[in-house]
Every structure is written in structure tokens, then in C-alpha cells.
């Protein structure tokens, strides 16, 4: 993946109000993003491991994806979807696009949602998502 603009990265949420299960809307106003893909190691080391090196069991362990971002409020409709999801503890389908890398798509739980403001500045928010199902990576 070569150099690219951060503004090309996008986070989208399933638009439950549209009535269509495949409709997504961009979460507006995000200024920074982070994607983390984790895979747990299952250690099968034992007294017979070659030269006492740790051994891992391929294909085992728990995998998860975490997405986080910070930004400014911009869009009432999208803000309402996020607010409803966090307040009702629902798991919606989200898409996270990183051009020249992949579109990550799956169901996520909003693990953290924070609103902050300075007296002489804009209201900002931060959000973190944790996968609660299989996450698919598709080429863009």
C-alpha cells in the first residue's frame, strides 16, 4: 500500500431507518481513525519444544477487530443512528474503508462514546467499536 490521504478513509454505519439492510451512511465529521486487527496466540509449548522455543497452534485463538475515531458532529441523521446504537446497546453492521488496503465489514458493539468540548471550541466526539461477529475484508 503506497502513501495516500487520510481523508480517503471512511467509516459507515448501517442505516436502519432506510428499511434496506444494505444501506450504509458515512459517519460524518471524523478527523482521525484507527483500525486494529488482533489474533490471539494459543500456546502449545511443552517440555519437548525444540530448544525451548514457544510453539503456537495455527488457526486457533480468538480474532477481533477494533475501530476508533475522533471528530466533530456534522450530520443529525447519522448522529441519531450512533446515539441510538450506544444508548440501546445494539450491534449494527459497520464498514471501515481504507483505500488500497480493504473494506472491513461486520457487526460491531460501540464500546466507548465520548463527547467533549472547550468553552471556545467545537463539540467533538470519540468512538470505539469492537467486533461481535466475523469481520470480512474485501478489496476496494
Any idea where the domains of the chain sit in the sequence?
A: 8-34+68-138
Residue 13: half-sphere exposure toward Cβ, Cα within 13 Å: 26
Give the pLDDT confidence score for residue 100 in this predicted structure. 86
Q: Does the pLDDT at position 18 exceed 80?
A: no
Q: Does the pLDDT at position 19 exceed 80?
A: no
CA distance 93 to 12: 9
CA distances 68 to 13, 21, 40, 115, Å, are 13, 23, 20, 14
Give the pLDDT confidence score for residue 73 in this predicted structure. 86
Q: Does the pLDDT at position 133 exceed 90?
A: yes
Give the pLDDT confidence score for residue 4 in this predicted structure. 79
Torsion of CA 93, 97, 103, 108, to 10 degrees: -30
- In the chain, what percentage of residues exceed pLDDT 90? 69
DSSP 139: -
Looking at residues 92-101, what average pLDDT do you find? 92
Q: How confident is the model at residue 20 (pLDDT cuts 50, 70, 90)?
A: confident
For the 8-34+68-138 domain, the top CATH level (class) is mainly beta
Nearest to 138 by CA among 82, 111, 107, 99: 99
Amino acid at each position: 500500500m503506497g502513501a495516500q490521504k487520510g481523508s480517503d478513509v471512511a467509516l459507515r454505519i448501517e442505516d436502519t431507518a432506510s428499511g434496506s439492510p444494505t444501506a450504509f451512511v458515512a459517519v460524518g465529521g471524523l478527523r482521525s481513525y484507527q483500525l486494529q486487527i488482533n489474533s490471539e496466540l494459543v500456546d502449545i509449548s511443552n517440555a519437548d519444544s525444540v530448544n525451548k522455543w514457544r510453539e503456537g497452534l495455527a488457526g486457533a485463538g480468538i480474532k477481533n477487530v477494533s475501530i476508533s475515531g475522533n471528530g466533530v458532529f456534522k450530520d443529525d441523521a447519522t448522529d441519531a443512528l450512533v446515539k441510538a446504537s450506544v444508548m440501546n446497546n445494539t450491534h449494527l453492521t459497520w464498514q471501515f474503508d481504507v483505500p488500497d488496503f480493504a473494506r472491513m465489514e461486520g457487526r460491531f458493539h460501540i464500546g466507548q462514546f465520548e463527547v467533549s468540548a472547550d468553552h471556545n471550541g467545537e463539540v467533538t466526539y470519540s468512538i470505539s467499536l469492537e467486533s461481535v461477529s466475523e469481520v470480512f475484508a474485501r478489496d476496494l
